[in-house]
Amino acid sequence: MPRRLLTALVLIAATAAAVTSASAADPQVPVRVKLKDCSIEGASALFVAHMRPVTGSDRMWLRFKLLEKADAGFRSLKAPGLGRWRKSKPGVGVFAYRQAVRGLEAGSLYRAEVDFRWYDASANIIQTARRRSAVCRQFDVLPNLTATPIGTKAMSRQGVERYRVLVTNEGIAPATGVPVRLTVDGDVVDTVIVPALVPAERRVVIIPGPACTSSVEAQADPDGVIVESSESDNAHEVSCADLQPG
């Protein structure tokens, strides 16, 4: 999918305090990268990376990468200003850069990955590190509701069956007052209300209806009154033969 990412890099700290002894260096690899701001309205993210000297270092370098969530994990994106090494002046005590990224796509997850390097006075690499930031989510925290017919059982009354419908919330926010509609052979039978569904909750509801001859469909939130992260997977239709008995 084509994309256009606008970036801006701003040096926010590069103190002039020189490190003159090993005691001034942090032995625990003194680096960090933070998600400073994540704006859905602005389709943007702001990341900040900090590093301090290690024993024997004279200059520090850092490089930002932007990662986007894909099916197989996070993948690197190309954008103006990314991928370049940013270099400190010799002997500074703190080196930090701020990376702003704009033009992020709605519905995606992003994070920064930063490579760090330390060089001695002879320009030799003496240590490296890599860190990733927290995730910038370009969507609201919302539920994602689904409904699927899974089984049927004949009732004592001739021609009437009990349909079992699996209702799930695959989102990351709870939902309340969830309507679930059952359709048998193209005719709407009934709509029941599930009082509440927390994230990752699965619940089976029973809806009586006529015996089916062709297909059964269940749909969560049929009128679209609940705002969800995805509206494309609310309904599922199965053939009568695919319904489990009992």
| Per-domain residue ranges of the chain | 6-137, 145-245
Decide if pLDDT at 23 tops 50: no
Measured distance CA(36)–CA(147) in Å, rounded: 38
Model confidence at 28, pLDDT cuts 50, 70, 90, reads low
Q: Is 121 helix (H, G, I), strand (E, B) or coil?
A: coil
One-letter amino acid for residue 94 of the chain: V
pLDDT digit string (tens) for 164-222? 999 999 998 999 999 999 999 999 999 999 999 999 999 999 999 999 999 999 999 99
Pick the CATH number of 145-245 from 2.60.40.10, 3.40.430.10, 2.160.10.10, 2.40.110.10: 2.60.40.10
Structural Rg of the chain based on CA atoms: 28
> What single-letter amino acid sits at 246?
G
Which is nearest to 28 in space by CA: 142, 179, 129? 129
Domains 6-137 and 145-245 share a fold: yes
The pLDDT assigned to 79 comes to 83
For residue 244 the two structure tokens come to 């489990």
- Asked if CATH classification 2.60.120 holds for the domain at 6-137, the reply, yes or no, is no
Instruction: Write out pLDDT tens, residues 105-131.
Output: 988 899 999 999 999 999 999 999 999
Q: Given this model, what pLDDT does residue 242 score?
A: 93
Lowest-confidence range among 4-13, 70-79, 119-128, 130-139? 4-13
In the predicted structure, residue 11 carries a pLDDT above the cut 70: no
pLDDT at 47: 96
